[in-house]
Amino acid sequence: MTFTNSKEFAEKLDREDDLQDYRSRFFIPKDKNGNDAIYFCGNSLGLQPKSVRAYVEQELKDWETLGVEGHFHAKNPWMPYHELLTDQTARLVGAKPIEVVVMNTLTVNLHLMLVSFYRPTARRHKIVVEANPFPSDRYAVESQIRFHGFDPHRSLIELQPRAGETNLRTEDIEDVLEADGDEIALVLLGGVNYYSGQAFDMERITRTAQAQGCVVGFDLAHAVGNIPLRLHDWNVDFAVWCSYKYLNGGPGGIAGCFVHERHATNAALPRFTGWWGQNKTIRFTMGPRFDAIPGAEGWQLSNPPILPLAVLRASMDLFDAAGMERLRAKSIALTGYLEFLLDQHPSKHFSVITARDPQQRGAQLSLRVKENGRALFDHLTAHGVVCDWREPDVIRVAPVPLYNSFTEVYRFAEIFFGTTENIHRPREH
């Protein structure tokens, strides 16, 4: 698409956007003047769909009037309530229904998956992660390595970009996998890295790693609802994600988990178990013998929290109606327009560290600010932009196709390059 640096052009793109009506289905936070904030932070916490209240009130009402009977007689009985999300979730991540479940929170699910899929031996004990993985993932894998009696200094490989580069090249990842493959037990990458915004070639990495006998898992916190996923076809072993970012599942919302079908009925896989993973036909006989539900549901521990599930249903219905294909097409244009506008005034003060290739990124652009980055971030905030700051020097900006507009992207660039108050005067070359 050829872009133009003008408000009229941005407005034209908005008029032509067939997803434009979705914005009105969300509550948009206000800036200090009472105008809509430019909310480019859906990669951190997605906005609240207006329909959430009705979904939650239904469950509050049923609890109010039915008490415990709601488990079986609520409008949507709570016993199988999580199953209402199965088909939509499967569509979103490119899985079969048996391969997905909505449960717990991300780091909990990651540990559950590591229990099953990280089975180190003296020879094959290493875990590969990308440079700068999300800290919780690092803590989780390091603790698992120690739990198995190994030392993270020897067993954790952190892939580094080439000197002077900010993104990993797929061929460099493959080189590591091919060189050290027989010592690598597990490859765990963020589908989209939270810091750089790089989207990895999950299919190719999975193929190469599995050819070396490694297990492959992805943390999809920044990928789900952001980029198209085909987890089943890519033959990924497992994946975990949270719902509070692009999926608008609400703060601390309920997370998701994918276990490939070929592992689903493998009783030899060790796992931590709880009664909600128990065969549904005998769960309430309360017997001592555990017989796992085939599929990802067999990894459930507890009966799930209905209210967060209700919140997530509201958003997933919007995702289903909008369709991931249309969302992705708009997202590529929206983020491409942001990149185009930022490129209009090259400056030594900031650089885009996210990949330039739209196939290697989602909605987010990460801007590295050389000096006074925090002050620039505060300037954006003071002008009604909601984005976020990640130490030591990065501002993350994520226009989200469900509720952001091209006009907002244009306005963001105006504020970013504002001449009067701008900290760096970025128009200087």
Ligand X SMILES: Cc1ncc(COP(=O)(O)O)c(C=O)c1O
Which residues would be at the binding site for ligand X (CB under 6 A)?
105-107, 134, 136-137, 190, 194, 219, 221-222, 242, 255
* Least distance in angstroms from the C-beta of 260 to ligand X: 20
Return the number of the residue (132 or 404) whose C-beta is nearest ligand X: 132
Which three-class secondary structure state does DSSP give residue 366? strand
Return the number of the residue (42 or 181) whose C-beta is nearest ligand X: 42
Return the number of the residue (57 or 158) whose C-beta is nearest ligand X: 158
Return the number of the residue (107 or 278) whose C-beta is nearest ligand X: 107
* Least distance in angstroms from the C-beta of 245 to ligand X: 7
* Least distance in angstroms from the C-beta of 239 to ligand X: 12
Return the number of the residue (147 or 284) whose C-beta is nearest ligand X: 147
Q: Closest-CB residue for ligand X? A: 107
* Least distance in angstroms from the C-beta of 130 to ligand X: 10
* Least distance in angstroms from the C-beta of 124 to ligand X: 25
Distance from C-alpha of 386 to C-alpha of 378, rounded to nearest angstrom: 10
**b/e 325-351 (16+ beta carbons within 10 angstroms → b):** eebbebbbbbbbbbbbbbeeeebebbe
Return the number of the residue (299 or 410) whose C-beta is nearest ligand X: 299
Residue 357 gets which letter from DSSP?
A: S
Q: What would the DSSP string read from start to end of 236-297?
A: -SEEEE-SSSTT---TT---EEEE-HHHHT-TTS-----GGGB-TTTGGGT-S---BPSSGG
Cβ atoms of residues 417 and 68 within 8 Å: no
134 residue type, one letter: F
Residue 264 in tokens? 């689903």
* Least distance in angstroms from the C-beta of 13 to ligand X: 29
Which three-class secondary structure state does DSSP give residue 127? strand
Q: Identify which of 340, 315, 381, 346 has the alpha carbon closest to the alpha carbon of residue 13.
A: 340
